[in-house]
Amino acid sequence: MGAPRRLGRALLGGVLRMAPRESRDWAGAMLGELDFIEGEWAALFWALGSMTAVVRHAAGGWRAWLNRRSQQEEGMNTTGKRALGVGLGMLSALALVGCAFAVLRILGILFPGLEHSPWAYWLAVMAIPETIFVAATVMLWRKKGPLAAGILATGLVMALHVAVHLTLHW
């Protein structure tokens, strides 16, 4: 199996693992076809197209879920709305960290050895996400306070985790 097909398999496999339950069957179907595709680059392009299809399918599900939530939200009190905002902020921040891990894995496949470099790890998983968290918190604080608080809380927990790690190991 050549590198383009391997990369395609890794990318689509990653999407399959992260996809919601209703999209997982389809992602598996597209992944299953990869071994039958003639040509290494054709297999990579198949995987890239498939990723788009899965993300669009999942996005449809998330849109429906958000619509249902916003309908429920209308009947909620202020505390409920704030709690929901904080929860969504935390989820978004965790999704960003998940994406950072995925990018690091992809870079590790493309450039073997990079994944084990501590600098690449700190940059991809800590420095960049933390910078985005701070920027998002500042931008959202006035208009979407609870969402910003959720993002900030996740960023603080991550920073605390790193501080504890550094204290114990260095």
Q: Which residue, 25 or 73, is less far from other proteins as judged by CB?
A: 25
Q: Which residue, 37 or 107, is less far from other proteins as judged by CB?
A: 37
Q: Which residue, 30 or 147, is less far from other proteins as judged by CB?
A: 30
- Burial (Cβ within 10 Å: 0-12, 13-18, ≥19) of residue 55: middle
Q: Are 89 and 147 in contact (CB under 8 A)?
A: yes
Dist. CA 10–CA 16, nearest whole Å = 10
Dist. CA 160–CA 166, nearest whole Å = 10
For position 21 contacting other proteins by CB under 8 A, the verdict is no
Tokens found for residue 73: 């939200």
Q: Which stretch in 53-61, 79-87, 89-97, 136-144 sits in contact with other proteins by CB under 8 A?
A: 53-61
For position 45 contacting other proteins by CB under 8 A, the verdict is yes
Binding pattern for the stretch 54-73 against other proteins, x by CB under 8 A and - elsewhere = x-xx----------------
- Binders of other proteins: how many residues, by CB under 8 A? 22
Query: Virtual CA dihedral for 65, 67, 70, 74, nearest 10 degrees?
Result: -120
Q: Are 93 and 131 in contact (CB under 8 A)?
A: no
Q: Which residue, 36 or 119, is less far from other proteins as judged by CB?
A: 36
Tell me which residues touch other proteins (CB under 8 A).
Answer: 25-26, 28-33, 35-37, 45-50, 52-54, 56-57
